[in-house]
Amino acid sequence: QKEVEQDPGPLSVPEGAIVSLNCTYSNSAFQYFMWYRQYSRKGPELLMYTYSSGNKEDGRFTAQVDKSSKYISLFIRDSQPSDSATYLCATYNAGNMLTFGGGTRLMVKP
Amino acid sequence: DADVTQTPRNRITKTGKRIMLECSQTKGHDRMYWYRQDPGLGLRLIYYSFDVKDINKGEISDGYSVSRQAQAKFSLSLESAIPNQTALYFCATSEQTDNEQFFGPGTRLTVL
């Protein structure tokens, strides 16, 4: 079993829709949670970074962590075609390496 | 200018050949990493280095070797390439105390 699981998609939504991307993880020691966005033919880039349970908002993006259920979510409001990318969740505990999920491919259609 | 560069961007080679992928960074970071990405498997860590004299194996180091020539340069070698090493390879860097990683543009390697 992988330590971090993600539905690979693809997830196709119309422009303006609210998008929900999700990950589950198995190691309760994980403390830090990240979302990376990867455009086609590019390297991943950090989108959101959270520590502990709760919500963190940045513009149209909201990251949510529920440590009790080991569940990580990324919400995108008013989705745009420019949001079309692969979204990778990642997590780690202090002193250890990042563990990535497999990524979810998102397509936002005009 | 890109902060993390990788060469080559694309490479096709044959089984048994030795291949070197190179990574350079201008971010001044101490930590450098090599990952491979396969569809549905996300990024898997091959090797990482916390400074020039520190090299560590990652999750999938078999069949690979690395060299940290300087703070800014970290190379990945496939001594005898095999077809299941066909993948996207990414180099990344981070500051010593900050775990955000900055990725290069990737190298697409095909082993025939």
Whether the per-residue pLDDT at B98 is higher than 70: the answer is no
Query: Are A102 and B100 a contacting pair at CB < 8 A?
Result: no
Mean pLDDT calculated for residue range B7-20: 97
A34 vs B100: CB contact, 8 Å cut-off? yes
Give the model's pLDDT for residue B38: 92
Distances (CA, A) of A92 to A7, A62, A89, B27: 20, 19, 11, 23
Per-residue DSSP letter, B79: S
- Measured between its terminal Cα atoms, the distance across chain B in Å is 33
What is the Rg, in whole angstroms, of the alpha carbon atoms belonging to chain A? 13
Which residues of chain B approach chain A closer than 8 Å at the C-beta? 4, 39-45, 48, 58, 90, 92, 99-106
Q: What residues are paired with A56 via a beta bridge?
A: A63
- Considering only the beta carbons, identify the residue of A41, A43, A100 that sits closest to B42: A100
DSSP 3-state of B28:
coil
Parallel, antiparallel, or unpaired: how do β-strands A104-109 and A85-92 relate? antiparallel
Q: Split chain A (110 residues) into runs of 10 and give each run's mean pLDDT.
A: 86 97 90 93 92 89 93 96 96 80 95
| pLDDT tens-digit readout, B42-84 | 899 999 999 999 999 998 999 999 999 999 999 999 999 999 9
Q: What are phi and psi of A15, to 5 degrees?
A: -55, 135
Q: Do A41 and B90 touch (CB under 8 A)?
A: no
CB atoms within 10 A of CB B54: 11
Please give the pLDDT value at position B99: 73
Q: Do B35 and B44 form a contact (C-beta atoms < 8 A)?
A: yes
